[in-house]
Structures are given as structure tokens and as C-alpha cells.
Copies of this chain bind each other. A is one copy, B any other.
Amino acid sequence: MPTQVAITHGEVLEDSRGYLYDAAMRRAIIEMGGSRSADVLEALGALRLAAKLIHDASDRFAERHGLSDSRARVLTRLDRSPKRRLPLGALAEGLSVAPRTMTDIVDVLERDGLVKRIADPADGRSVLAEITPAGKAKINTIRRDATARQAAVAKDFTADQLVELRHLSLMLVQNLRGR
């Protein structure tokens, strides 16, 4: 799942007011009349690029421990859950992926001995993923380091900027989920 790729393109520059922009992206966005559309596309493009780089970095980190970003997230959720086990459907919802995808992720985790599938005594349709001792050991080994790395990515952000980034992102989430 790693990515190292090293895309050299996409120079990030500063405009006259001190705001960053991506030169290649701006060039790529045809100047459509109002430029309002262009501003939106630039912002969304920047957000998507940031998300991809975050994902790549997270995957590369997890891969050094024999995990992937998704598998690490599943283990984290299981380890934090009271009974150390959750139905696949709940895990899928928590990671915002389709149920079928969680089947694939748990397949790999189970093959690697990090989780075990068990029947749900309360619902015959449901399958619970239960974290194994090996899974617990693995996730505890990397958790602290993983958190520190994530936090370091935003080391030059003020508290207000973090709030603003979250707020603007969730405005988009609302627009995309609503309606």
C-alpha cells in the first residue's frame, strides 16, 4: 500500500497576499469567466491533493509494520471498543466504506492472525471481528508513534487554523451528504 512516488511537479507558491497556491493546478484550470468556479476547483483540488498525500504517508508508515492505513484503523477501533469486538457493518460505517470492502479488509487481518471472526450470539446474521492478542500487541506498538506523526504534519498550524480546516471540511461534508 505504500506510495513513495515522489511527484516532483505541482509547485506550491505564495501569492501577493501570502496565500499558497499550486502553480500547475492553477494553470490546468481554464479561466472560466466568473473565476468563481475556478476558485472552487482550485480549493477542492488542493484539498484532494492534501488528502492523497496524507493517505500515502499513513499507508507508508503502516506498511513498515505490516499493516495498511485501513487495517490500522480497524485495529484501532477494535482495540478501543469495550468488548474488543465489533460487527463488520459497524466497522464499515466507521471507516466510511462499503460493507463489502470491510469483508476484504477483515479477510487480510484474519489471515495475518490479527483479528478473528466470531458469530454474534445476539444476531445470527451478524459477524463480529474480534482483535487477537497479536493484533493488540501490534496496534499498541505503533499507536503512540502514529499519533505523533500525524500531529507533526500540522506542526505549523495555529489552533485557529486547525478549527478552520475542520470547519470548512465539514461544510463540504454536509453539502455532499445532505440532499
A179: nearest chain-B partner, CB-CB? B152
Beta-carbon contacts of A151-162 to B below 8 Å, as 1s and 0s? 111111101011
Q: Return 29 A-B CB contacts under 8 Å, by A number.
A: A7-B96, A7-B177, A12-B170, A12-B174, A20-B167, A20-B170, A20-B174, A24-B94, A28-B77, A28-B94, A32-B147, A37-B148, A39-B166, A40-B162, A43-B163, A43-B169, A47-B165, A47-B169, A49-B173, A50-B51, A50-B169, A50-B176, A53-B172, A53-B177, A57-B176, A154-B172, A161-B171, A165-B168, A165-B169
Residues in chain A within 8 A of chain B (CB atoms): 3, 5, 7-10, 12, 19-22, 24, 28, 30, 32, 36-37, 39-44, 46-55, 57, 77, 80, 93-94, 96-98, 147-148, 150-157, 159, 161-177
- Is A46 in contact with B166, judged by CB distance below 8 angstroms? yes
* Oligomeric state, in copies: 2
- Give chain B nearest CB distance to A109 CB in angstroms: 19
Partner of A40, one of B24, B40, B154: B154
Does B9 lie within 8 Å of A40, measured CB to CB?
no
Would you call A43 and B162 a contact (CB within 8 A)?
A: yes
The prevalent SS among residues of A at the interface is helix
- Are the C-beta atoms of B157 and A171 separated by less than 8 Å? yes
Complex CA distance for A153 and B173, rounded to whole angstroms:
9
**A49 contact set on B, CB distance < 8 A:** 96, 169, 173
